[in-house]
Amino acid sequence: MKLFVLMALGLFGLLPRGQEQQPVPAPIRRRPARIFEIVERAGILMHLRAVRVDVSAWNALRALEKLGAFRLVVPPELRGRLQTTSLTLSFESMEAFSIAKLACVAAGLDMVNDSQQLTRQQEDLLRRLDPDAVAAPGGVDAEPRKTVVLVLDPPDAQSQSGRSRLRTLALDWYGALTIGSTGLPDYYGGEKPLRGEPDPFDEDPKTPGQVLRSEAELRKFLGDYQGAARGFEEFYRNVALNDPAADYVGWAKLEEARCYCELGQYDLARQRSRDVMNGYSQQVEGSEAAELYGRVVMLLTRKQLSEVESLAPEQRPGLRAQVYMELTNCRDNLFAFMSGHSSGEALARLHVIVAELQWMRSNAEGILDELRQAAAISDLDFVGREQDALLMVVPGKQMGIDLSFLRGIALSETARLGQPDGAERLLEAEEALAAYLLDSKNAQGEFQADKRFFGSAWLGLATVQWKLDDPLQGLWCIAKAKKHLDTLLPFERDRLVLLETRANISLGRTKAALDSLTQEIKSRGVGFCPELELFAGETLLALSKPEAAIQVLASVIEQRDENGELARVLHMRALEKQKRYESLVLFALEWGELIHDPSLQAAVSGMLGDAYTALERYELAAEAYAGRIR
C-alpha cells in the first residue's frame, strides 16, 4: 500500500509545473433518436414516419402522447403487458391513432378513445383513473382538449359484441400491415373502405385483383360474410383478364355462394352455386359448387317447410308440394351433373348428397342405392365403423351428415314398411343410429355433429324399438326426439305422433293416447293432416268405435288421392261394423268409382257383396263379388 502511494506521488511530481491541470471532459450523453417523425399534421390528426426495431408497445404509446397525439390512460395492471411487447415499426406514413391501436393489439389489448361512444363502464373507469381526462376546457382561451386514449382488456370472444369487436381489430391490423394507413378505420366518423396502394417496400407487390381477392378472403375468415360476398363479387366483376388473379374467378363465385349460405340467404346461394356448377363442371370448383348447391337446396327446403307450417291449414298442401318439387328438381340437376363424371371422391360425395335428398323425400331405397354407388366409387365399407364417417364440410360451418345416420334411417324405414329381411335390417339400423348418436360427442361430451339430424336419429331408433316390440324403449326414444321437434321434417312429425299413439295404446293407455291424437289433429287443422286422421280412423275401428271413426274420416273422404281412397274404404268398414248395409251400398255406389287401387277395389267388392247378401239381394251380391259395382 505504501509503495502504491509513493508511486502516485512520484507520478504527480512529474507533471509540468506552472501549468493548470485540464479537467477531464464528461462523456457526451446522446439524446436517443425519436421513435416517430411527423410527416403531416392537420388539426388533431397526425401522420408519422418510423423505422425502428425492438420498440416496446409502452414506449411507442408514450412517444405518441409526448408528440401531442392524445392523452394516454392505462390501467396499472395492463402496463406490464405493454412494456413486455416488442414492436418493429417500418412505415412511411401512418395515422397516430392507428399506430396506437396496433400497439395495443400486439400486446393482446383493446383501445378506445373518447371521441367514440364509450360505454358507461368505460366512462367510469376513465373517470377513476384520470379525473382530469374527463374535465371540460377551462375557458375560451384554454388549450384545446386532447383526445383521450383508454387501454382496455381484450374483448370477450364469447359474446356477439366481443366477436364483432375482434373482427374490427383484425381488419385494422390487416389493413395497416398490408396496405398502409389508407385502409385503416377513420376514428372520427365512419369507416373508410379497405383499399389502398400496395406497400412500396413489399418485395412481392400485389396486383389490384390480388388485393381485392385477399381482402374478400380476409373478411370471410373474420366472419364478415356480407362484406366478403360484396368483395368476391367486386373481384370477379372487375379483375382484369391479364391479372394473375383472373384464374380465381370461379373460386371467387363459389366463395360468394358460401358467404350467402352462411348468411342464410339461401336463394342467392342456390343461384350462385348452380351457376358455378354449370359453368365450371369439369373443374374442382364445379364439383364443390354442386355439393354446395345440394346442401343449400336442402337448407332452403327446411326453411320453406317451416314457413309453410305457420300458414293457414288450407294453404299448406299446395305450397308444400311446390317445396318438394324444388327438392326433386335439385336431385335431377345433380344426376345430370354426375352423368359427366365417372370416378373420384367428389363424385362419391355427391352421391351422399343425393342420398340425403332422398331421405328428405322419404325414399328409403333411394338412400341405400346412392350409398351403394358412393361405396363402389370410394371403397367405403359400411360395416366397419372406422369407415362410416364421411362428413361433408363447407368452409366456415360444418353442414355435413354421417353415413351411418343415413344408412340407419334407410334401414329403419324399409323395416317399418315390412320389406324382406326386415328383422336383420332392424338390428343393423339400431346399430348404425346408436353409433351415430354416440359418435356425435367428443371426449368432453360436446356435440360435434350437426344437431339438425338428432331428432331424426332418435325417431329412427323409436321406429326400430316399436318393430322390435319394445314400446317402453320406443317411448323413451320418442321423448328424446321431441327435444329436437323443430328440426323434424313434416312427414317425420306425423310419424312421431303415430308411433307415440301406438306405443301408448299397446301399453293400455288407450284413452289418453286417443285424446292426445285428437288434440293434435285439431291443432293442425281438421282435413289437413290426412295421415293422422286415417290412423285415428283405423285405431277407432280396431277398438270397435265405428261412429267415432266415421266422424274422424269425414274430412278425408273427399280428397282425390290415395289418402281419400283409403278413407272411403275405412268409412265402409265402419258402416259394416254398424250393420248399416243400406248406407254402405249407397256409399259404395257414390264413391266406389273413385277407388283405383286394385287391392282396395277388391275390398270394396267384398264388402258390397256381403252387404247385398245381408239384404238378400243375391244377384247383386254375385255381381259385386265378381267385381262389378252397381
pLDDT at 394: 30
**pLDDT for the residue numbered 256:** 94
Instruction: Indicate whether 110 pLDDT > 90.
Output: no
Alpha helices per DSSP H over 242-384: 249-262, 266-279, 284-309, 316-338, 345-360, 364-378
Whole-number Å distance between alpha carbons of 325 and 321: 6
pLDDT of residue 265: 92
**Between 425 and 143, residue with greater pLDDT:** 425
Confidence (pLDDT) at 260: 93
Residue 517 lies in a domain: no
Q: Does residue 446 carry a pLDDT above 90? A: no
Please name the helix (run of DSSP H) or strand (run of DSSP E) that holds residue 472, with its range, or none.
helix 471-482
**3-class secondary-structure state, position 72:** strand
The answer on pLDDT for 509 being more than 80 is: yes
Residue 200 or residue 347, greater confidence: 347
Assess if residue 89 is contained within a domain. Answer: yes
Judge whether residue 207 has pLDDT over 50: yes
Place 582 in a pLDDT band, splitting at 50, 70 and 90.
Answer: very high
CA distance 600 to 292: 44
pLDDT reported for residue 515: 87
Residue 614, domain member (yes or no): no
487 Cβ contact partners less than 8 Å away, ≥ 6 residues apart = 451, 452, 453, 454, 455, 456
Count of structural domains, the chain: 1
Domain, as residue range, for 118:
35-133+146-154+166-193
Quote the pLDDT of residue 348: 81
How many angstroms separate the CA atoms of 602 and 583, rounded? Answer: 19
Judged by DSSP in three states, 394 sits in strand
Residue 630's pLDDT is: 54
* Residue 263 near residue 300 (C-beta atoms within 8 A): no
Cα gap 286→278, rounded to integer Å: 7
User: Packing angle between helix 208-221 and helix 160-179, nearest 10 degrees?
Assistant: 160
Within-domain flag for 246? no
CB of 98 closer than 8 Å to CB of 47: no
- Confidence band (pLDDT; 50, 70, 90) for 179? very low
Rg of the chain over CA atoms, in angstroms?
39
What's the N-to-C CA distance of the chain in angstroms? 147
Question: Which one of 203-207, 419-423, 447-451, 570-574 scores highest in mean pLDDT?
Answer: 570-574
Q: pTM for the whole thing?
A: 0.58
Whether residue 178 is contained in a domain is answered as yes
398 is a domain residue: no
Q: Which of 351-355, 482-486, 611-615 has the highest mean pLDDT?
A: 611-615
Mean per-residue pLDDT over the chain, rounded: 76
**223-237 residue pLDDT tens:** 788 888 998 998 888
CA distance 596 to 171: 67
User: Does pLDDT of 580 surpass 90?
Assistant: yes
Q: What would the mean pLDDT of 372-399 be, rounded to a whole number?
A: 45
Q: For residue range 523-558, what is the model confidence (pLDDT) as tens digits? A: 777 777 888 888 889 889 988 999 999 998 988 888
In a domain, 248, yes or no: no
Nearest-angstrom CA–CA distance, 442 and 453: 17
What confidence category does residue 20 fall into, taking pLDDT thresholds of 50, 70 and 90? very low
The answer to whether 323 touches 305, Cβ cutoff 8 Å, is yes
- Coil vs helix vs strand at 586: helix
Torsion of CA 588, 589, 592, 594, to 10 degrees: -130
Is residue 56 included in any domain, yes or no? yes
> Residue 490: its pLDDT value, please?
83
